[in-house]
Structure 1
């Protein structure tokens, strides 16, 4: 008797075969694994791509899993991207920021993974932010008790990003010892540039009439802590969360209290909530970019976006 698989079983087997084909053949479009002369690096999102490209130079081929214009928190990986992780010589990710990447790294990357969150301890989500007794952050945790919830947006502190860059240079040097000195030199050059940016922020935000910023989601804890500002977040760490009416009312009250002239939103999520608060308190809106990703290919880089953020903050806070 001939066995004939049921249609559902056949469809499942076909999907599995296609997924496997996508994994094994993923390097045919210029992604990881195609250039034997360069170190193949996969980065979870833009700031890690930026670091790898600046420190690796021509010696690395970098694939960013998050496309420009897409919000990277909720990235879903296709089989080709899982294959890229499987084939890469180095996978740069930040544990806790992109759950799908975390899972794929755990299953496929092994000791080729580099979790940048291990370079320096991540700070608590409320550190550098504004505390509201009983209010919830973006993950459903009360802010009072959110000591276990970590803020992943470490790249918004240039000095911390420089330290991650130094460690990345060391890691690339172990993979490619012949060019270890080049990686170290480029990391040193990048550190100098980041220190200059840090100085610009310190000086530019030193004398401001206000020090509170109302933001669409609490992505700016590292920046506000570093430069003695205070963030008032409409939502928590996850920008897609819908704030409750009570939360909107509380933020509006604080915006009035601090005489905020600007309510900030970001490039990769809808500005509607920020616009609602702005109308309520008679303020304008402006973009403050958390640099989770670029809005479009070729749309500046880390330094240009950060300097635009600085000028936006200086205007909003009436800095002299």
Structure 2
């Protein structure tokens, strides 16, 4: 489900030209607003009747931000439901939205390959930029996974500018921080800290909202620890190498068929390694995900006599999931249920 309609051409424009284009587009749909709020004035807007306008990159960032901001902000997501975010690119119209926002929340660690160009176009007086994964011990990722845990690369906060433009395979870093309930708490706390600084007038409400959601995430984290600690096996095969943080934090080993990008095609040698691993370890479930084709997982499952099941990387919800009222907590509980079943077969 690639979103190939967004091209990279505008990203090659000089920053000044791109900013001018964004401002013109913003002005066309401004309807009397003040445009992009500076970091020093955005907080004062919320002391009256106006809400903060917050742009988020993709689904988990939208939910985390909405839970902390509550009814004090209008939170908008750039990447629509059902769209695979790894190779999505913002249009000039998306840039125009961002110029008018008070805050932009993105995951970082290379997930949003376009963020540095956007930073340049927005300038120093643009919206507050929040890298939700700041401070997390970022794992290294490789083009060819060797079926072992990826190594840690340390606190990436000073390195993000270097690796965020590495392309859709995220360079040498794994961005899938949100798939560990433990690490998701750090992302929520980073968003909370940014809102407290931007809008101190409503600090008590932001703290209350964040504390309530972190309580839910803490319970989810405890359920993962309890549910997975006693599993008969500790390895699982997944189509997309998105679960390294979850595997690290809960004592599991991820065996990915393909790399960090969900549509990266595995080589014949990689496929053969996974088939051999599945046969040797009597793997009975091969996991695939919701936003890309399950054909590769199905091919391996047929080869080894296993079944397939969904392990959702939560890079976006489908329209059906949105209509059903599903969210990060409910989907992560479904993931836990699927893992418990597969690891105890």
Shorter chain as denominator, the TM-score bin is: 0.7 to 0.9
Gaps of 5+ in 1: 1-15, 133-140
Q: 2:52 aligns with which of 39, 47, 56?
A: 39
**Residue number among 231, 246, 249 corresponding to 2:254 in the alignment:** 231
Partner residue of 2:339?
Answer: 313
- Equivalence for 1:281: 304
Please give the alpha-carbon distance, in whole angstroms, between the structure 2 residues aligned to 1:219 and 1:151: 8
Pair 1:285–1:310, CA change in 2 (3 A): same
> Which of 131, 148, 152 pairs up with 1:131?
148
Within a 5 Å distance, the mapping from 1:54-73 to structure 2 comes to: 54-73=67-86
Q: Matched residues in 1 for 2:56 and 2:120: separation?
A: 15
Counterpart of 2:239 in 1: which secondary structure? strand
Tell which structure's C-alpha radius of gyration is larger. 1
Aligned residues of 1:20 and 1:79 also touching (Cα < 8 A): no
1:238-278 residue CA offsets vs partner (Å, 9 max, x unmatched): 11111111111111111111211111110011101101110
* Number of residues of Structure 1 aligned to a counterpart in Structure 2: 288
State how 1:13-32 maps to structure 2 within 5 Å: 21-26=24-29
Q: CA deviation at 1:208?
A: 1.6
Secondary structure at 1:213's aligned position in 2?
A: strand
Tell whether 2:135 aligns with 1:119: yes
Corresponding residue SS for 2:114: helix
Per the alignment, residue 11 of structure 1 pairs with none
Consecutive unaligned residues of structure 2, counting only runs of 5 or more, are: 1-17, 38-45, 150-165
Out of 227, 239, 245, the residue aligned to residue 222 of structure 1 is 245
Cα distance in structure 2, aligned partners of 1:207 and 1:131: 21
The 5-angstrom pairing of residues 1-320 of structure 1 reads 21-26=24-29, 37-95=50-108, 96-108=110-122, 110=124, 112-125=128-141, 130-131=147-148, 149-296=172-319, 297-299=322-324, 300-318=326-344
Cα distance in 2 for partners of 1:173, 1:302 equals 23
Contact 1:86 1:109 in 2 (8 A): no
TM (normalized to structure 2)? 0.77
RMSD: 2.7
- Give, in whole Å, the separation in 2 of the partners of 1:281 and 1:24: 58
Inter-partner Cα distance in structure 2 for 1:27 and 1:117: 32
Q: Residues 206-227 of structure 1, C-alpha deviation per residue, up to 9 Å, x if partnerless?
A: 2222211111111000101111
| Deviation string, structure 1 residues 250-307 (Cα, Å, up to 9, x no partner) | 1111111121111111001110110111011110111100111112233500000000
- Residues 48/258 of structure 1: CA separation in 2 closer, same or farther (3 Å cut): same
Residues 88-125 of structure 1: CA distance to partner in whole angstroms, max 9, x if unpaired?
11101123112134422332264611112323231222
Given that 2:26 and 2:100 are in contact with CA atoms closer than 8 Å, whether structure 1 keeps it comes out as no
